[in-house]
Structure 1
């Protein structure tokens, strides 16, 4: 299977965005992993985050594709600006970390709400990618896989490492999004 340079570029870009968005789930996973969650809690949380990292960008991309047909000429600049804004928002969350809040994951509803809150960034990124007419299936699979793997990895790593790793992961993800968004603006 021969891929063109444009296809390789799309795969690389989507991988970087998926990893950047997965950093939020990774950060959360590290924090929760230090609580020594049960295997069932870790598995259900990782699967739920992976599922929401598929659903949210799918919704965003459908909205973005519609807006892309309406906005035509400025769609790429708006999409790049949204990625930059998303990256800046992630950086601001790292800077203004407030005191520790309690997160409860005793029920499936709590797990779904937590997964939804971590995956909201994927909706915005999906909207941006919809404006660029990115490959829908590839994007959703990459985002879902990254969300699942990075939240699960963060949960496992949290059992062994302290709080400091989570904040650096989100910082790194924000920087990636700002760089990619700037590329589309300029």
Structure 2
């Protein structure tokens, strides 16, 4: 898998964290730079770490599924991309602050829960990374860096714009992941 593809996967995976960060920024009564850094750090840690877990799982059964690994990678990216598109379509800006509430500082447990919830798909992609023999250290670093950047920008945008842009971002991320899945499938079928 090329570096370019890993970067696009990282962008697609970071979309959930971006959307959550926009919501946290929109729901915050005020946000300081330290809180932006804190939110982005949680998101990056989980989003970058979860593919490693998936990679370990995928590596353990890689030899069993090697003949159809491209179909598995395609299916996983199609599922995750479809979920992002679905979530983007049904996003309700009026309910976005419902579970988080309005606050000036989010608790450790709240941030951990949001970061975990938005990074489950990254663990599934990690399985695909194992099947595609991706350098997991490089992938983890790229995903964490892009997620940190997106989340920092997201909190700031959320504070300024509110939840108005969340649904479009999730739909875009879903399309990117599906396109990558199709690219993986086509490249393996045309070999």
Fold conserved between structures, TM > 0.5: yes
In the alignment, is residue 102 of structure 1 matched against residue 99 of structure 2?
yes
Q: Distance in 1 between matches of 2:88 and 2:138?
A: 29
List runs of 5+ in structure 1 lacking aligned partners: 1-8
Greater CA deviation, 97-106 or 176-185?
Answer: 97-106
Aligned pairs for 1:35-184 (under 5 A) are 35=28, 36-98=30-92, 99-100=95-96, 101-103=98-100, 106-184=106-184
Q: TM-score, normalised by structure 2?
A: 0.86
Q: Distance in 1 between matches of 2:23 and 2:106?
A: 16
Superposition CA RMSD, Å: 1.6
Corresponding residue of 1:12: 4
Corresponding residue of 1:24: 16
Q: Distance in 1 between matches of 2:62 and 2:70?
A: 8
Q: TM-score, normalised by structure 1?
A: 0.88
Aligned length: 178
List runs of 5+ in structure 2 lacking aligned partners: 187-191
Contact 2:88–2:169 (Cα < 8 Å) also in 1: no
